[in-house]
Structure 1
Amino acid sequence: MKKKQINAIEVAKLANVSQSTVSRVFTPGAKVSPRTQKRVLEAAQKIGYRPNALARGLITNKTNIIGLVMGNIQNPFYPEILDEFTKSLYEKGYHVLFFHTKNDAITQDEVSQFLEYNVEGVIVTDVLLSSNVVSKLSTHDIPIILFNRYNQDSTCHSVCCDNYSAGMKIGEYLFKQGHQKFTYITGRTNTSTSRDRERGFAEFLLQKGIKPVIEEGDYTYEAGYTVAMRVLKNRNRPDAIFCANDIVALGVIDAAKILGISIPNELSIVGFDDISMASWPPYSLTTWQQPVKEMIEATINMLLNTVDGEATKPQSLLFSGKLLERKSVKLLKNS
């Protein structure tokens, strides 16, 4: 037999307050005196009351639910991002409705579910966003924030690492160490992150009269491993490889080990992101650290300001990040 659901009316009777007061106690940001809040919470605990967020949303037209869409969950960077977003939003009284899209693009079915749950905003990480999806969500006053990417033709706000400048600084760093033969292993070619990292890296080296070899990858360990197993067997192999992200770099490191190539003595490798695995002793990867916490805080603030009607024109925020030197790059000469 199904247990009877305790409702707010019963809590109100026990605490000797109105039902609306009970509702305010369980609504983040609502004003209630500490004394009244304590009385209501004690009554709720005593009879086992748990508020129904969806039901409350129907009444207040405010669900405090944020949609978050992610594609490549095999990349450790994004589960770490999901964890940070979930914790940060919870601290502000919001819950995450998570969607893992398998088609590299938000589908109409997922849009429909956002509308069904009456989400207050949507954060999009590494998936494609069509103009039709943006239009449909905008029609229902649901703002969208792009995280760790941008689209110059989009009407959405975006928060991203300055990948172009980072790529340029990585090129400069490796050049100053005395390296001469460079390779860049890309991420997915349709992403702004990979394109900007490549552009910055290549432009710096071209200024020095060096044309780097570009090898196509897709942000996966397998891609890094496969590319490395091929290019490192060449007689004219690179002495420095910059990878579009850390998980690609880890694949390159493992391939080099199998081929008997010493890192960093015979090959230098730089990644991007600074995932947890990058610092593991078997890898000790030199990488570009994205300021994830600052980026997430800016994304949430931008989204909530838009929900409250404070932000209007699309904004793009860029964050610098920094190079973390570990043990995967060899100093060939004094800079």
Structure 2
Amino acid sequence: MARRVTSFEVARRAGVSRSAVSRCFTDGASIAPETRDRVMEAATALGYRPNAIARSLITSRSRMIAVVMGHLANPFYPDLLARLSAVLQQRGYRLLLFTGAPDASADPLVAQILPYQVDGIVLASTTLSSGLADECAAAGIPVVLINRTADRAHVSSVASANLDGGRLVAQFLLAGGHERFGFIAGTEASSTNRDRERGYRAVLTEAGAGPVARAVGAYSQEGARAAARALLRARPLPDALFCANDHMAIAVMDVARHELGLRVPEDLSVVGFDDAPPAAWASYGLTTVEQPVAPMVDAAVDILLGQIEGKERPAHHVALAGALVVRDSARRPAFGLVRDNDRTIWAPKAGASPAGEGRTHE
């Protein structure tokens, strides 16, 4: 095995101190350009690579963030993961990925993560018990939930405004003239499912819309297919289904069209939640509530790194609104349709859309 070149050898060849070599390989460190050039030339000539493990022992920082995900089959999460990795790299950190069961407690994985001396933990589509959250806090390891809300006030969280999103879907479907409503639930215990359904039902109840047909898809395509068969073979047939995420909505559309011979949206309107990449595919054209991935990731990283760097210690809870993106899977209301760059959104109250500036009415 080849001998590892040390920073001392690089410093001696470049005619600088070892601390100068260290600063050259530390993101954001201040060093004169001519010194950096000499160090990098010496490092290249000697084949030097910095030892991250040794550096972490000196600085007590690994600059590694553990990310726990349980829903990689759902196309929303790879999109979120790519954004999270890019933003962390921009801030001088690296991502260490752990995968677990969807919507299960992250406790077993977090217990495995702690010996890795990570600087922080991001939990996506998972939850954490109060006991292990306290253990992380005692160890000085900040934890942030993303796309989940925390039952414990001292664990920071970033999520969509799920309650408002569910309300928006119900208002949209009522405005489109629908009369018989259904809901395909995700995982019962998840905060995303709970809040989306609660907002949806609240508006329908206020409108006197009658009972809502319901089945559980558990955020999986197979579960959603079974739920769709149960709801769409019942009579009277719902004329509108709200699915707790796009992953399930796509499976529901396949069952409705290809197994049961229903026309979407003429016989059945389908609305999802996430605005995952397949929602925009021409084969589906799914109407859905977007999750604003970039702002969610930016907020989660700001909170986490703020706590790591000691600037912000209290827990933060952020809920970010997303627009209802209108495509072809649901009948359209006669009002409230707005062009927003290259997409159509439903914004019934002028100036109240979460999509921001620069809109023109259709």
**TM-score, length basis structure 2:** 0.88
Inter-partner Cα distance in structure 1 for 2:317 and 2:111? 27
* SS of alignment partner, residue 219 of structure 1: coil
Kindly report which structure 2 residues correspond to 1:188-267, keeping only aligned pairs within 5 A, or say none.
188-210=187-209, 211-258=211-258, 259-267=260-268
**CA drift at 1:39:** 2.2
1:317 and 2:329 matched: no
Q: Give a deviation string over 1:201-222, Cα, whole Å, max 9, x none.
A: 0000000101322221211111
**CA drift at 1:333:** 5.9
Q: Give a deviation string over 1:229-284, Cα, whole Å, max 9, x none.
A: 22112231110111000000000010011211111111111111111111111111
1:120 and 2:86 matched: no
1:156 and 2:155 matched: yes
Contact 2:107-2:128 within 8 A present in 1 as well: no
Alpha-carbon distance change, 112 to 188 in structure 1, aligned in 2, over 3 angstroms: closer
More moved, 314-323 vs 2-11: 2-11
* SS of alignment partner, residue 122 of structure 2: strand
Inter-partner Cα distance in structure 2 for 1:141 and 1:229? 49
Contact 1:65-1:119 within 8 A present in 2 as well: yes
Q: Using the aligned pairs only, state the percent identity.
A: 38
* SS of alignment partner, residue 214 of structure 1: strand
Contact 1:54-1:117 within 8 A present in 2 as well: no
For 1:133, the equivalent position in structure 2 comes to 132
Structure 1: 4+ residue segments shifted above 4 A:
332-335
- Number of residues of Structure 1 aligned to a counterpart in Structure 2: 333
Inter-partner Cα distance in structure 2 for 1:88 and 1:59? 25
Inter-partner Cα distance in structure 2 for 1:72 and 1:332? 33
* SS of alignment partner, residue 295 of structure 2: helix
Inter-partner Cα distance in structure 1 for 2:178 and 2:333? 7
Amino acid at match of 2:47: G
Alpha-carbon distance change, 332 to 290 in structure 1, aligned in 2, over 3 angstroms: closer
Q: Give a deviation string over 1:284-315, Cα, whole Å, max 9, x none.
A: 11111111101100110111111122223322
More moved, 308-317 vs 282-291: 308-317
Inter-partner Cα distance in structure 2 for 1:326 and 1:18? 62
**CA drift at 1:196:** 0.3
Instruction: Give me the CA root mean square deviation.
Output: 1.6
Contact 1:144-1:157 within 8 A present in 2 as well: yes
More moved, 231-240 vs 195-204: 231-240
Alpha-carbon distance change, 61 to 320 in structure 1, aligned in 2, over 3 angstroms: same
Contact 2:160-2:321 within 8 A present in 1 as well: yes
1:26 and 2:47 matched: no
Contact 1:177-1:334 within 8 A present in 2 as well: no
Q: Give a deviation string over 1:39-87, Cα, whole Å, max 9, x none.
A: 2223222322221212210111111111111112111111221111111
Unaligned runs of 5+ in 1: none
Contact 2:64-2:118 within 8 A present in 1 as well: yes
* SS of alignment partner, residue 67 of structure 1: strand
Contact 1:122-1:144 within 8 A present in 2 as well: yes
* SS of alignment partner, residue 270 of structure 2: strand
For 2:52, the equivalent position in structure 1 comes to 53
Amino acid at match of 1:89: L
* SS of alignment partner, residue 217 of structure 2: coil
